[in-house]
Amino acid sequence: MNSQVFETPIEYLRGVGLARADVLKKDLQISNFDDLLRHFPYKYIDRTRFYKIKDINADMPYVQILARVTQKEILGEKHTRRLVVQALDDTGVIELVWFQGIKWIEKTITIGKVYVLFGKPSFFNGKAQMAHPEMEPYSTEALQRKGNLTLQPVYNSTEKLKQFSLDSKGLQKLIAGLLEQHLKDIHENLPLYLINHFNLVSRADACRNIHFPEDATKLNEAIYRLKFEELFFLQLKLLRNKLLHSQKFKGNIFETVGTLFNEFYHRKLPFPLTNAQKRVLKEIRQDTQRGVQMNRLLQGDVGSGKTVVALMSMLIAIDNGFQTCIMAPTEILANQHYQTIKELVGDDFIEVALLTGSTSAKARKVLHERLENGQLKILIGTHALIEDKVQYKNLGFVVIDEQHRFGVEQRAKLWRKNSIPPHILVMTATPIPRTLAMTLYGDLDISVIDELPAGRKPIQTLHFYENQRLRMFGFMKQEMAKGRQIYVVYPLIQESEKLDLKNLEDGTDVMAHEFPLPDYRISIVHGKMKPTDKQFEMNRFIKGETQIMVATTVIEVGVNIPNASVMIIENAERFGLSQLHQLRGRVGRGAEQSYCILMSSHKLSHDGRIRLDTMVKTNNGFEIAETDLRLRGPGNLDGTQQSGVLDLKVANIVTDQELLITVRKCVENIFEKDPQLALPEHQIFHHSLQSKGQGLNWNKIS
Ligand code: ADP
Ligand code: MG
């Protein structure tokens, strides 16, 4: 809860003015006092220790040395004019160079004197150098001078800002000035009981010490406090939205578990449910009896059996007189769901309809009518399901597959189709680490299927290099001889689309040569084909008419062909971890041993190697997601853009997981005790929840 003062535009700060304000805004998005206050150092330089000249190297960021000046001279003409100073300690020589302010600096340096030098070392012809070092005559008094910082803050700056004398040092001065003037205006924004319970330092202390730490302990305390606060308000906002949402949106109550469900469960279901599936069904059952709209995210690895859970939940909805639908991101996947569900329920049980972009106008018209009069109970399709023309009589339960492709607005569009919004189950096969899910989907409840159906053999993953290609062909032959089918996947990205397609075609030619007709047949599916052609090729493979399917990532989502037991990924180093994991999940669905072969060149980047090693090492989607998050940071994960995690300034969603869990629990307790935040000690939150300047842009949070 900063005082209003911090909303003052930055140009009004002493030492800024219009021109500098302009660059601060453009380059660092600093437009008011608060933004500057929250421009935290990205590192600190330890000025408590001195290096010996022989110990420094070019990799060191900034170092401090003590050395005696032995020589100084001005060299060069005009553009090459420079001041060169030699200094030495008992281990070696260092050359100090200045290109600007030469005359003045030259005068201040006395030969024979010892100086404290501070700068970034570099090497030229094996000789240590420092350009434009900070320099101060050595004296015990200078070192012990009160208030002399031991840890110097270093700030991000830009070339442009440097032209305006706002390098790290310049920014430091501005911030020092700001703190000097307004430290007293930095007010506490957490209640005393939390500060005491979590042993936090005050907000003002934290702000001062994160910029100008008295010592390392104070710095750590400051960082902890600011991280806590940042995560706290993020969670407070998310959980409050969720609470408001549940108060605002009533939900249909599914009172009974009726005939359809029971009949399906006892007569149709071809396998026992896993414990995880049962647990999730129970969670959904509870949600749909409360009278509040359900918003639940169902996470489960590929093949963990999410679809059955979705179907059984839908049957409960239908038992209670409602309509249901499943929305998939692609036509292929919608089709697949349609087939799977039809197979599961059988012909005589309940009608299932499909609606996609390819549905004919005539068929569409009939569908629309039957939806409107409520006859049709299960509809499966693509986003065609939420077109304005589609009207339901009483849509009660919606399943959305592969969440990240449907934005928040699209979800909302579905809600608007009823006065009471349908319950929503979002299914995703992209596991998200728990802490990230808490933040990304803070407004959703989360269920996890963390158990594969019994009898599945874990997929074996191998990494082959290009020169092992013959071995790979041999392996393919061996598996096909056993009657298995094989996927071969090529990367395809827009920037190199032509080349990628050529790779795919060349690769297919080689394979056709290796595996000649009539014994072997190959299907090809890629993004440049017409949907009908794609479907035709897919169908040939599904029916077993072809043994090999060469494809780009179009098969990435959801396709289920139990007899396909080998997944070969070409140029595997070019895929991201979650993509690799998704692709691998296409196999391992039948009873046989399945394999995934990652083909790569010998040249692998550091991260590329980690990705492939991770794939070989584990099948666990959550473990893979953790590694992915570590490699890429949250900024590149789907959905993070709107989540607010990218606006975190101090906390880090990857490394501060433990703190995040603590904070989350703390916020949950607060809402349990005081859902309206009405208690006197919680009044303090309202200001922060309304104001923008709390380190988070609330607008971005859905
Ligand atoms: P997901 O959508 O999670 O990737 P699916 O629901 O498509 O997984 O299920 C994958 C396969 O496993 C399907 O063939 C499905 O019929 C089967 N399956 C689902 N649950 C079980 C279970 N409990 N036992 C055996 N097989 C199951
Ligand atoms: Mg699925």
- Domain borders along the chain are 49-149, 259-281+304-428, 460-618
pLDDT at position 254: 95
pLDDT in tens, 24-34: 999 999 999 99
- By most ligand atoms within 8 Å of CB, the mutation choice from 275, 307, 559 for ligand 1 is 307
The pLDDT of 275-291, averaged and rounded, is 94
Q: Which ligand is the nearest neighbour of the Cα of 582?
A: 1
The predicted structure's pLDDT at residue 557: 46
pLDDT of residue 141: 63
**Ligand 1 atom 23: residue of nearest CA:** 273
**So what's the pLDDT on residue 417?**
58
Higher pLDDT among residues 206 and 644, named by residue: 206
Q: What is the value of pTM for the model shown?
A: 0.67
In this predicted structure, the answer to whether residue 592 has a pLDDT above a threshold of 90 is no
* pLDDT tens digits, 315-373: 999 999 999 999 988 888 898 899 889 989 988 889 999 999 889 999 999 999 999 99
Cβ of 99 closer than 6 Å to ligand 1, yes or no, is: no
Over the stretch 129-179, which tens digit does the pLDDT of each residue have?
Answer: 999 898 888 876 655 554 455 788 889 999 999 999 999 989 999 999 999
Structure tokens at 391: 């009207």
pLDDT digits (tens, 9 = 90+) for 235-250: 898 888 888 877 777 8
Query: For 439-450, how does the pLDDT look when each residue is reduced to its tens digit (9 = 90+)?
Result: 776 667 889 898
* 694 Cβ closer than 6 Å to some ligand 1 atom: no
pLDDT of res. 697: 34
The answer to whether the CB of 246 falls within 8 A of the CB of 292 is yes
- Alpha helices (runs of H) in 543-594, residue ranges in sequence order: 577-584
Q: Residues 610-634: what's their mean pLDDT?
A: 86
How confident is residue 635, by pLDDT bands cut at 50, 70 and 90?
low
Question: Does the pLDDT value for residue 404 go beyond 60?
Answer: no
User: What is residue 406's predicted lDDT score, i.e. its pLDDT?
Assistant: 56
DSSP string, 492-514: --GGGHHHHHHHHHHHHHHHHHH
- Which pLDDT score, from 0 to 100, does residue 702 have? 27
In this model, does residue 699 exceed pLDDT 70? no
pLDDT at 644: 55
More confident residue, 442 or 582: 582
Residue nearest to atom 9 of ligand 1 (CA): 305
Nearest CA-CA partner of 312 in 261, 278, 275, 272: 261
pLDDT tens, residue by residue, 66-123? 999 999 999 988 778 899 999 999 999 999 999 888 888 999 999 999 998 988 898 8
Report whether residue 274 contacts ligand 1, using a CB cutoff of 6 Å.
yes
Distance 37 CA to ligand 2 centre (A): 48
Atom of ligand 1 nearest to the CA of 455: 25
Percent of the chain with pLDDT over 70: 90
User: What element of type H or E holds 314?
Assistant: helix 306-319
Q: Which CATH class is domain 49-149?
A: mainly beta
* Closest residue by CA, ligand 1 atom 25: 453
Percent over 90 (pLDDT), the chain: 54
From 324-328, 513-517, 624-628, the region with the lowest mean pLDDT: 624-628
202 burial level (CB within 10 Å; 0-12, 13-18, 19+):
middle
For ligand 1, say whether the CB of 431 is within 6 Å of any of its atoms: no
Establish whether residue 309 lines the binding site of ligand 1, counting it when its CB lies within 6 angstroms of any ligand atom: no
Task: Round the average pLDDT of the chain to a whole number and report it.
Answer: 87
Residue 308 near ligand 1, beta carbon < 6 Å? yes
636 pLDDT band, cuts 50/70/90, is low
Binding site membership of 303 for ligand 1 (Cβ less than 6 Å): yes
The DSSP code for 681 is: G
Contacts of 158 (CB under 8 A, 6+ apart): 23, 27, 28
Mutational pocket test of ligand 1: of 335, 560, 565, 594, the residue with most ligand atoms within 8 Å of the beta carbon: 560
Q: Cα torsion for 341, 344, 350, 356, to the nearest 10°?
A: 10
337 CB less than 6 Å from ligand 1? no
Is a pLDDT exceeding 50 seen at residue 694? no
Predicted local distance difference test score (pLDDT) of residue 582: 85
Residue 409: predicted pLDDT: 59
> How big is the CA angle at 364 (ends 363 and 366), to the nearest 5 degrees?
65
What separation in angstroms does the CA of 138 have from each of 68, 130, 459, 482? 10, 18, 66, 81
pLDDT above 70 for 1: no
Candidate from 406-415, 492-501, 564-573 with smallest mean pLDDT: 406-415
pLDDT value at residue 416? 61
Q: Is-same-fold flag (259-281+304-428; 460-618)? A: yes
Does residue 321 contact residue 245 with C-beta atoms inside 8 Å? no
Instruction: Inform me whether the pLDDT recorded for 251 exceeds 70.
Output: yes
Ligand 1 test: best mutation among 269, 271, 340, most atoms within 8 Å of CB? 271
Say which ligand is closest to the CA of 310.
1
Maximum mean pLDDT: which of 189-198, 207-216, 630-639: 189-198
- Residue bearing the CA closest to ligand 1, atom 17: 305
Calpha distance 368→377 (Å, rounded):
12
> Could you tell me if the CB of 273 is within 6 A of ligand 1?
yes
* Separation of alpha carbons 431 and 438, rounded Å: 13
Cα–Cα distance between 376 and 378 in angstroms, integer?
6
Q: Is the CB of 358 under 6 A from ligand 1?
A: no
Give the pLDDT of residue 637.
Answer: 54
Residue range 447-463, pLDDT digits in tens: 989 888 887 888 999 99
Q: Would the CB of 577 count as within 6 Å of ligand 1? A: no
**Highest-scoring range by mean pLDDT, 488-502, 557-571, 673-687:** 673-687
Under CATH, which number does the domain 259-281+304-428 receive? 3.40.50.300
Of all ligands present, the nearest one to the C-alpha of 275 is 1
Asked whether residue 606 carries a pLDDT value surpassing 80, the answer given is yes
| C-alpha 428 to ligand 2 mean position (Å) | 8
pLDDT greater than 50 at residue 695? no
Q: Indicate the CATH number for domain 460-618.
A: 3.40.50.300
525: β partners: 551
User: And the tokens for 694?
Assistant: 């709390």
pLDDT of residue 623: 85
Tell me what pLDDT residue 308 has: 95
